[in-house]
Amino acid sequence: MNGPAQPAQAGKIDQVVAEDLVKRFGNFVAVDHVSFRIASGEIMGFLGPNGAGKSTIIRTLCGLLRPSSGRAIVAGIDVARDPEGVRQHIGYMSQKFSLYRDLTVEENLEFFGGIYSVPRAELRERMRFAIDMAGLAGREQAMVGTLAGGWLQRLALGCAVLHRPPILFLDEPTSGVEPASRRRFWDLIHNLASEGVTVLVSTHYMEEAEYCHRIALINHGRLIATGSPAKLKQTGIGGDLLLLECDALGPMLEALQHAPNVRDCSVFGDALHLLVDNAEKSLAEIPDFLASKGLHPRRISRISPSLEDVFVQLIAADVAAAGKAA
Amino acid sequence: MRFRRLRAIALKELLQIWRDPRSLMIALLMPFTQMFLLGYGVTLDLKHIPVCTFDREASQNSQSLLKHFEASSYFAIARNVRTYPELISAIDRSDCKIAIVVPPDFSERLNDTGTSSVQAILDATDDNTANIAYGYAVAIVSGYSNDVALDALGRQGGELQQIQPVAVQSRVWFNEDLDSRNFIIPGLVAVIMALVGAQLTSLTISREWERGTMELLVSTPVTPSEVMVGKLAPYLALGWIDASFCLIIATLWFGVPFRGTLFTLFATTTLFLTVVLGIGYLLSVLIRSQIGASQVALLLTMLPTTLLSGYVFPIDQMPTIIQDITYLVYSRYYVTIIKAIFLKGAGIAALAVPILFLLVYAAAVMTLAARAFRKRLD
């Protein structure tokens, strides 16, 4: 099922709109009736496993792929009708690093400045901004191929924002970058958003999703849920979450499959997460049930779900629903 | 088409060529290696053909005839043999291509009847060489024959009057020395242009696909024709540099005459380059792999240009069906043009027809190339 489209924040225009978007490659459905809206200045995060269709949606919104059906509207322009019209309004960072490695930092920036026809009078200043933003001051003449991952990503972002696009599409911009650099990269994204830039960013790092204003969970080309991280954690799993610590996970897991009012039970590290309808009721019920089986957990307590819990739960529910539908 | 974007693409391409030793080598060294290799290697002239002589008479007359062979630069006396078996083994061992046998009664018959003959034995394993050698031998013998006749007349009549039977007064134009190098080297310029042009441009789009830079490029406002023109411009400049190298080597090193104007040469070369650069670019767009595109480019440019353009192998000696095919070979027109510019000093007007053909070709290739590139990933 599609998540409900979020109403736009008051007074702001939706910069990116997907309506019932479908993209097929032969018989394979890469994007399956996806709808969402992103308001101006909002950071929307696409969260999902590799191959879920995140890149395909982004490429379709950039006009690089033609949608099989449905509509994509970016900066008020129908992408399928006028893909060229969209280009000047967007900045794009593809999943694979796609700047020229045999050009220097400065030469890459000059190239994109020329391609986007950045006014000459402003080009120096904007290049300066991009270089400072990427932390590449003093390395202007360095061949891009010699730079480390974090710098590459920030330079790619610098090239993508050189023409001051109101909309940014960032496809897994931080994959393969060390955590400190990732943190810094997200600071940059937040700065841009605070200046009104609309950002659509995909990631498969759960912790990064927390930095987004809103998240869209994507699996098998379907948009399973959208909402702010807080809201998703609150409502996304449709129940309460208990943490159970014990010595022998195997027998415990086995026994809990048959425990009353336990909807799901899964291993998280060296403990178990239990999804229950009502935390208080189960906190009273479960120790007795386990005792009757001769099992004694070290500790059992209520926890607030992480995004990962929500994601695992929603995907499981989605798979179950799809199975029932078929 | 916007000049800013065009310039950005062209500058970027130029930097990339400059930093890629492979491209640079192809672009700048190829004219030298090809010019020298093929300029020296391919020559259709036969000089110093090894000849064996078998003088069975050993008279003043026979020696005088053989002196004519010795004096000619077309022949070099390899051996003087004394028996037939010796002569046969000389031919078998390829010591000589031709053997001249003077019969024992050479002078006797010459004195008695006024005519005599010598025998020429030819190794025709290479029929072309044999034919040419035979032609030269006949020319030398008839030259000698004339001397004898004049001599005899002089002795008989005392008063030597010019006998003038019908004689062909031939004059060779444009390549007065009949030096095949003068004919081959201008054509070689076409081969080099075709090779360098299509090779380099066949890499230009496929490289962007292979390195992943294309994905970003197509997401920008740049248009397909800006990409094409911007990418081809630096290669056109390289082509001009190569053409200049070729011109310098041809005239200063090989001494080939250059009778045309530089304007005609560069104008027509630009036209030809447009065709080959366009073909390379088109292949690069269609094939998307550097190796694949450059292989096909080699096949579509080098091969027809060396074999079917008339650069070495005369078109009018080909089978009719092949002759018809050569009309499709764009290099044919350029080879015609460039030979005429070098040797005849032909101008644009005299070359209107082949230029028109090249124009049509260039327009077709450019149109196809501009349309083939789509800013999409699917």
Instruction: Give one DSSP letter per residue of A51-117, joined into a string.
Output: TSSHHHHHHHHTTSS--SEEEEEETTEETTT-HHHHHTTEEEE-SS--S-TTSBHHHHHHHHHHHTT
| CATH number of domain containing B60 | 3.40.1710.10
Query: Rounded to an integer, what distance in angstroms lies between the CA atom of residue B291 and that of residue B287?
Result: 9
- Residues of chain A contacting residue B19, judged by C-beta atoms under 8 Å apart: 102
Residue at B171 is within a domain: no
Q: B30: part of which helix (H) or strand (E)?
A: helix B21-41
| CB-CB under 8 Å, B4 with A64 | no
Question: What is the predicted pLDDT for the residue at A57?
Answer: 96
CA dihedral A281, A287, A291, A294 (to 10 degrees): 130
Question: Strands across the sheet with A262-268, in order?
Answer: A262-268, A271-276, A240-245, A299-303
CA distances, B193 to each of A308, B15, B185, B238 (Å): 61, 22, 13, 10
Of the partner residues B9, B15, B217, the one whose CB lies closest to the CB of residue A107: B15
Whether residue A193 contacts residue A199, with contact meaning beta carbons closer than 8 Å, is answered with: yes
Q: Does A111 touch chain B (CB under 8 A)?
A: yes
Residue from A55, A82, A90, A100 whose CB has the most chain B CBs within 10 Å, to mutate = A100
Of the partner residues B2, B15, B216, the one whose CB lies closest to the CB of residue A98: B216
Of the partner residues A64, A114, A116, the one whose CB lies closest to the CB of residue B377: A64
| pLDDT under 50: residue ranges of chain B | 164-165
Question: In angstroms, how far apart are the furthest CA atoms of chain B?
Answer: 98
Q: Does A101 touch chain B (CB under 8 A)?
A: yes
Residue from B2, B15, B208, B219 whose CB has the most chain A CBs within 10 Å, to mutate = B219
CA distances, A175 to each of A131, A153, A204, A257, B262 (Å): 21, 9, 8, 37, 56
Comparing alpha-carbon positions, the chain B residue that sits nearest to A116 is B221
Q: Which residues contact B368 (CB under 8 A, 6 or more apart)?
A: B278, B282
Domain architecture of chain A: domains with CATH: 14-228 (3.40.50.300), 238-304 (3.30.70.980)
Last residue of a domain, one of B96, B122, B157: B157
Of the partner residues A97, A103, A116, the one whose CB lies closest to the CB of residue B12: A103
Q: What are phi and psi of A156, to 5 degrees?
A: -60, -40
Give the domain extent around B103. Answer: 49-157
Comparing alpha-carbon positions, the chain A residue that sits nearest to B222 is A115
pLDDT along chain A (326 residues), means of 10: 41 84 94 95 92 94 94 94 93 93 96 95 94 92 92 93 95 87 91 94 88 93 91 84 88 87 85 89 90 89 87 83 69
Last residue of a domain, one of B125, B157, B189: B157
Q: Which residues contact A295 (CB under 8 A, 6 or more apart)?
A: A246, A251, A252, A255
Q: Are residues B128 and B198 in the same domain?
A: no
Q: Are residues B65 and B18 in the same domain?
A: no
Q: Are residues B197 and B147 in the same domain?
A: no
Question: What is the predicted pLDDT for the residue at B22?
Answer: 84
- Residues of chain B contacting residue A22, judged by C-beta atoms under 8 Å apart: none
Q: Does A140 touch chain B (CB under 8 A)?
A: no
Q: Are residues B268 and B326 in the same domain?
A: yes
| CB-CB under 8 Å, A66 with B221 | no
Q: How far is B20 from chain A (nearest CA, A)?
A: 9
| CB-CB under 8 Å, B213 with A115 | no
- Residues of chain B contacting residue A24, judged by C-beta atoms under 8 Å apart: none
Domain count, chain B: 2
Residue at B37 is within a domain: yes
Q: Are residues B230 and B365 in the same domain?
A: yes
Q: Which residues contact A106 (CB under 8 A, 6 or more apart)?
A: A127, A131, A140, A141
In terms of Cα–Cα distance, which of A152, A170, A157 is closest to A100? A152
CB burial of residue B115 (10 Å; 0-12, 13-18, 19+) = exposed
Comparing alpha-carbon positions, the chain B residue that sits nearest to A163 is B220
Of the partner residues B9, B16, B376, the one whose CB lies closest to the CB of residue A102: B16
A-to-B residue pairs, Cβ atoms closer than 8 angstroms? 86
Residue at B319 is within a domain: yes
Q: A22: part of which helix (H) or strand (E)?
A: strand A14-25
Comparing alpha-carbon positions, the chain B residue that sits nearest to A26 is B378
3-state secondary structure B81-132: ECCHHHHHHHHHCCCCCEEEEECCCHHHHHHHHCCCCCEEEECCCCHHHHHH
Query: Rounded to an integer, what distance in angstroms lies between the CA atom of residue A239 and that of residue A125?
Result: 53
Question: What is the predicted pLDDT for the residue at B169?
Answer: 58
Whether residue B24 contacts residue B18, with contact meaning beta carbons closer than 8 Å, is answered with: yes
Q: Are residues B131 and B234 in the same domain?
A: no
- Residues of chain B contacting residue A60, judged by C-beta atoms under 8 Å apart: none
Q: Does A22 touch chain B (CB under 8 A)?
A: no
Question: What is the predicted pLDDT for the residue at A4?
Answer: 39
| CB-CB under 8 Å, A112 with B16 | no
CA dihedral A245, A251, A253, A258 (to 10 degrees): -120
Whether residue B83 contacts residue B45, with contact meaning beta carbons closer than 8 Å, is answered with: no
| CB-CB under 8 Å, B219 with A87 | yes
- Residues of chain A contacting residue B211, judged by C-beta atoms under 8 Å apart: 98, 100-101
Question: What is the predicted pLDDT for the residue at A325?
Answer: 64
Q: Are residues B245 and B367 in the same domain?
A: yes
Which ranges of chain A does DSSP label H, i.e. alpha helix?
54-61, 83-87, 105-115, 120-133, 149-161, 179-194, 206-209, 229-235, 249-256, 279-292, 307-325
Residue at B66 is within a domain: yes
Of the partner residues B8, B212, B222, the one whose CB lies closest to the CB of residue A96: B212
Q: Does A100 touch chain B (CB under 8 A)?
A: yes
Classified as helix, coil or strand, A301 is strand
Residue at B173 is within a domain: no
Q: Are residues B365 and B230 in the same domain?
A: yes
Query: Rounded to an integer, what distance in angstroms lies between the CA atom of residue B53 and that of residue B298?
Result: 48
List, in sequence order, every residue forming a beta bridge with A93; answer none if it has no partner. Answer: A170
- Residues of chain A contacting residue B21, judged by C-beta atoms under 8 Å apart: none
Q: Does A121 touch chain B (CB under 8 A)?
A: no
List, in sequence order, every residue forming a beta bridge with A241; answer none if it has no partner. Answer: A275, A303
Of the partner residues A64, A107, A110, the one whose CB lies closest to the CB of residue B376: A64
- Residues of chain A contacting residue B375, judged by C-beta atoms under 8 Å apart: 63-64, 83-84
Q: Are residues B265 and B294 in the same domain?
A: yes
What residue type is A322 in one-letter code?
A
| CB-CB under 8 Å, B212 with A94 | yes
* Model ipTM value: 0.84
The tokens describing A74, both together, are 């970016």
Last residue of a domain, one of B157, B188, B210: B157
Whether residue B249 contacts residue B192, with contact meaning beta carbons closer than 8 Å, is answered with: no
The tokens describing B172, both together, are 């060779």
Q: Using alpha carbons only, give the angle B353, B359, B363 rounded to the nearest 5 degrees.
A: 155
Q: Are residues B34 and B55 in the same domain?
A: no
- Residues of chain A contacting residue B221, judged by C-beta atoms under 8 Å apart: 84, 87-88, 115-117
Whether residue A20 contacts residue A69, with contact meaning beta carbons closer than 8 Å, is answered with: yes
Average pLDDT along chain A: 89
- Which residue bears the tokens 């290697």? B41
Query: Rounded to an integer, what distance in angstroms lies between the CA atom of residue B321 and that of residue B72?
Result: 40
Residue at B270 is within a domain: yes
Residue at B377 is within a domain: no
Q: Are residues B32 and B92 in the same domain?
A: no
Q: Are residues B364 and B315 in the same domain?
A: yes
Residue at B164 is within a domain: no
Q: What are phi and psi of A203, to 5 degrees?
A: -160, 160
The tokens describing B19, both together, are 């930093």
Residue from B5, B22, B216 whose CB has the most chain A CBs within 10 Å, to mutate = B216
| CB-CB under 8 Å, B7 with A114 | yes
Which ranges of A258-306 does DSSP label H, i.e. alpha helix?
279-292
